[in-house]
Chain A
């Protein structure tokens, strides 16, 4: 079983749609949680950290459920520029701070 599992995707949505990505992680010692964005043939870039109380950054809302070991990302009012692969990432400090990546979910926002 993969340590971090994501919706397989791809997600094809029209502009303005709301889209939700889900992710589960298997290591209960995971302490930090992130969503990264990766554009085609580019490096991953941090989109947002995910906090226990949930957090929002503009059109993006991240939620964490430690009991269920579940992370989500909600994108409201999708823009064409949101098209990318979204990577669910966890980190455990008993593993030296290395990042554990999900396989990623591809999002394509169409006009």
Chain B
């Protein structure tokens, strides 16, 4: 079974530019999460999709961040315009939908974003 994949693995952009990150979840996983780790801080939740619907976007820092999951498959996270404080590692995770008390979230390798 293929794991969660993310593209690109690294991105270096200048302040004010736009960057789009992509996440392909594990096939059949309806839950898709975005997380971010900025330097020296813990990994923090950004948002959660169930299929194509945003279930929780309480972690999105501001309106410069836009996430989509058209068709309920892959997801994109766009940052426009990027600011210096957006630098960090962006992780995507996916899990099955279910009523189990625990459905493991599988993480992608992350996209390392550097804003200069």
Contacts and interface: CB of A to CB of B under 8 A. Distances in A.
Contacts of B109: 42-43
Contact of A96 (B43, B55, B104): B55
B35 interface: yes
Interface string A22-54: 000000000110000000001111100100000
A19 interface: no
B112 to A, nearest CB: 8
B44 A49 contact: no
A8 to B, nearest CB: 12
Nearest to A5: B42
Interface string B83-116: 0000000010101000001111101111000000
A95 interface: yes
Interface in A80-111: 87, 91, 93, 95-104
A99 B42 contact: no
Given A32-B102, A98-B48, A45 B107 contact: yes
Interface of B: 31, 33, 35, 41-45, 48, 55-56, 59, 91, 93, 95, 101-105, 107-110
Nearest to A98: B45
Interface of A: 2, 4, 31-32, 42-46, 49, 87, 91, 93, 95-104
16 contacts: A4-B42, A31-B101, A32-B101, A32-B102, A42-B109, A44-B43, A49-B102, A91-B102, A95-B56, A96-B56, A97-B48, A97-B95, A98-B48, A98-B56, A101-B43, A101-B44
Query: Which of B33, B45, B56 is most buried by chain A, counting CB atoms within 10 A of its CB?
Result: B45
A99 B101 contact: no
Contacts of B55: 96
A42 B42 CA distance: 14
Given A101-B43, A102-B42, 7 more contacts: A2-B42, A42-B109, A43-B109, A97-B31, A101-B35, A103-B41, A104-B42
